[in-house]
């Protein structure tokens, strides 16, 4: 099926390359001409494993092309996915400006098209957006009516950065919100090769499934962080051990044929310095704003955000607890990306941590295996810090090393290595990094660990 995708970022590019790699003909549209040029040369503008390899194959098979020409894309495809950003406004409400602009552009392109065309909202949008914002704009600019002139669906993505290609190829489910059966039937054809559950539902249910999914995962994280923060008040407590015990509850981790469904600790119940990324913060804030607009006060989701906002600063507090005033102390911040296996620093806990360290007049040294200095300064603006070129350079002769993102590369920092190379170094563990390691050999403090002396000083 000829498909086009407007917005070629993490969501749009992975979806486009994924559809091309299963045989669809794909045109990806973006306003960023440089990005389009890079993609057509087979270079992926984002760091996602396997993406560049699949992009090159799709280009060679002439199943994929990128362009800035939205009109051309709509006229040369039967279905158009919209994957443009839906960021947060200052008041945390969702910013639909790109969505509105592109809906109008697609409508205008349909004005001169006789064949039936399907529009699919893939971007994460607040409930009722597809019906009350996208639909009227397409009808207005195309002078057509939905049903006869075009079809309309809402098809949320559940891609995790760092796993995006795998999550696209092996989805847990495919959610098809449809304005009518014909629209849903056509979209279902795109996914006919996928062996997974396909849910056919209303547009608003599809929009809410996405928000609810992210809000639930974010709630689990803030819940685990709250338990960790309480555990720090209990001498010798260890939040990771606590969750290991909780996670044997068969209602969380069923036993099937005598085996646990997931022997690992329940992911999303893993305490740390908080959740970041371009989705959880933005989507939970948008859902809170939407609820408030609907005159319902979402107290739990607001608390999820409050806990998450403060969580990164607990790393700084733990550092002060150990070495006192941070003025002129040399502090390494290890990990800038909001999670491993991505170069994305959007809403990374590292941003709040660096800002706080700079405010306390510490000398900050950052390191990340993938996020380079250019990208760093882009997101960390004028924070004065040095970006180290290697892990060794970052940790050498520092008063404290904060682990903010648990990159695989940091596994080099084994307790033995630390003991023999930097015995007096202090590590502040924000990601359970030293959990399950022989950490009694090293000098460290971590989120969720009740310190020997009992309650941590801060309130």
Residues known to be catalytic: 279
Q: Give residues with Cβ within 8 angstroms of 172, minimum separation 6.
A: 158, 196, 197
Residues of span 238-297 touching ligand UDX by CB under 6 A: 267-270, 272, 275-280
Q: Which of 4, 5, 9, 315 binds ligand UDX (CB under 6 A)?
A: 9
Task: Check residue 212 for interaction with ligand UDX (CB under 6 A).
Answer: no
Task: Check residue 446 for interaction with ligand UDX (CB under 6 A).
Answer: no
Say how far apart CA 103 and CA 109 lie, in whole Å.
Answer: 10
Contact 84, 125 (CB under 8 A): no
Task: Check residue 217 for interaction with ligand UDX (CB under 6 A).
Answer: yes
Task: Check residue 375 for interaction with ligand UDX (CB under 6 A).
Answer: no
If the CB atoms of residues 184 and 340 are measured against ligand UDX, the closer one turns out to be 340
Task: Check residue 161 for interaction with ligand UDX (CB under 6 A).
Answer: yes
Task: Check residue 84 for interaction with ligand UDX (CB under 6 A).
Answer: yes
Say how far apart CA 142 and CA 149 lie, in whole Å.
Answer: 9
Task: Check residue 305 for interaction with ligand UDX (CB under 6 A).
Answer: no
If the CB atoms of residues 279 and 357 are measured against ligand UDX, the closer one turns out to be 279
Query: In terms of C-beta density within 10 A (0-12 exposed, 13-18 middle, 19 or more buried), how is residue 365 classed?
Result: buried
Q: Which of 44, 146, 186, 214 binds ligand UDX (CB under 6 A)?
A: 214
Please identify, among the stretches 98-106, 108-116, 421-429, 445-453, the one whose residues bind ligand UDX according to the rule CB under 6 A.
98-106
HSE (CB half, 13 Å, CA atoms) of 82?
Answer: 29
* Three-point CA angle 53, 59, 63, nearest 5°: 115
Say how far apart CA 179 and CA 108 lie, in whole Å.
Answer: 20
Q: Which of 72, 116, 141, 158 binds ligand UDX (CB under 6 A)?
A: 158
Q: Beta strands 443-446 and 426-429: pairing type?
A: parallel
Best CA proximity match to 450, nearest among 278, 318, 293, 296: 318
HSE (CB half, 13 Å, CA atoms) of 100?
Answer: 6
Please identify, among the stretches 157-165, 316-324, 326-334, 438-446, the one whose residues bind ligand UDX according to the rule CB under 6 A.
157-165
If the CB atoms of residues 305 and 326 are measured against ligand UDX, the closer one turns out to be 305
Q: Which of 67, 77, 86, 376 binds ligand UDX (CB under 6 A)?
A: 86
Task: Check residue 32 for interaction with ligand UDX (CB under 6 A).
Answer: yes
If the CB atoms of residues 105 and 319 are measured against ligand UDX, the closer one turns out to be 105
Give strand pairing partners of 199: 175
Contact 350, 333 (CB under 8 A): yes
If the CB atoms of residues 64 and 363 are measured against ligand UDX, the closer one turns out to be 64
If the CB atoms of residues 385 and 433 are measured against ligand UDX, the closer one turns out to be 433
Tokens 């310095």, located at residue: 273
Say how far apart CA 313 and CA 174 lie, in whole Å.
Answer: 38
Q: Which residues bind ligand UDX (CB under 6 A)?
A: 6-12, 30-32, 35, 83-86, 98, 101-102, 123-124, 157-161, 214, 217, 221, 267-270, 272, 275-280, 338-339
């Amino acid at each position: 099926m000829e498909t086009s995708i407007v917005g070629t970022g993490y969501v749009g590019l992975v979806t486009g390359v994924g559809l091309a790699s299963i045989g669809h003909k794909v045109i990806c549209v973006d306003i960023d001409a440089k990005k389009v040029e890079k993609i057509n040369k087979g270079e992926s503008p984002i760091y996602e494993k396997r993406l560049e390899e699949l992009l090159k194959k799709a280009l060679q098979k002439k199943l994929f092309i990128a362009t800035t020409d939205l009109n051309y894309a709509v006229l040369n495809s039967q279905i158009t996915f919209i994957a443009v950003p839906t960021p947060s406004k200052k008041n945390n409400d969702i910013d639909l400006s790109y969505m509105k602009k592109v809906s109008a552009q697609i409508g205008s392109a349909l004005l001169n098209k006789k064949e039936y065309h399907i529009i699919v909202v893939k971007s994460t949008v607040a409930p009722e957006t597809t019906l009350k914002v996208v639909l009227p704009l397409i009808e207005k600019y195309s002078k057509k009516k939905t049903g006869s002139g075009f079809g309309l669906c809402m098809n949320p993505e559940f891609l995790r950065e760092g796993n995006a290609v795998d999550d696209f190829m092996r989805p847990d489910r495919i959610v098809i919100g449809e304005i009518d059966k014909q629209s849903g039937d056509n979209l279902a054809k795109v996914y006919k090769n996928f062996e997974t559950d396909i849910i056919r539902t209303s547009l608003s249910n599809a929009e809410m499934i996405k928000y609810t999914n992210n809000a639930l995962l974010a709630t689990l994280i803030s819940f685990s962080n709250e338990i960790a923060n309480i555990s720090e008040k209990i001498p010798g407590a260890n939040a990771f051990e606590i969750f290991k015990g909780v996670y044997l509850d068969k209602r969380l981790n069923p036993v099937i044929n005598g085996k646990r469904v997931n022997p690992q600790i329940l992911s999303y119940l893993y305490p740390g310095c908080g959740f970041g990324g371009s989705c959880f913060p933005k989507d939970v804030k948008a859902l809170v704003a939407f609820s408030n607009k609907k005159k319902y006060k979402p107290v739990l989701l607001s608390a999820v955000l409050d806990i998450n906002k403060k969580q990164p600063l607990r790393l700084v507090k733990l550092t002060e607890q150990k070495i006192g005033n941070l003025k002129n102390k040399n502090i390494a911040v290890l990990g800038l990306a909001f999670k491993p296996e991505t170069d994305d620093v959007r809403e990374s806990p590292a941003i709040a941590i660096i800002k706080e360290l700079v405010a306390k007049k510490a000398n900050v040294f950052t390191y990340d295996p993938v996020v380079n200095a250019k990208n760093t300064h882009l997101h960390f603006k004028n924070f004065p810090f040095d970006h180290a070129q290697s892990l060794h350079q970052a940790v050498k002769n520092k008063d404290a090393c904060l682990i903010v993102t648990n990159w695989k590369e940091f596994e080099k920092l084994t307790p033995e290595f630390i003991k023999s190379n930097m015995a007096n170094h202090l590590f502040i563990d924000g990601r359970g990094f030293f959990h399950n390691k022989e950490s009694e050999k090293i000098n460290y403090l971590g989120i969720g660990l009740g310190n020997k002396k009992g309650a941590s000083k801060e309130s």
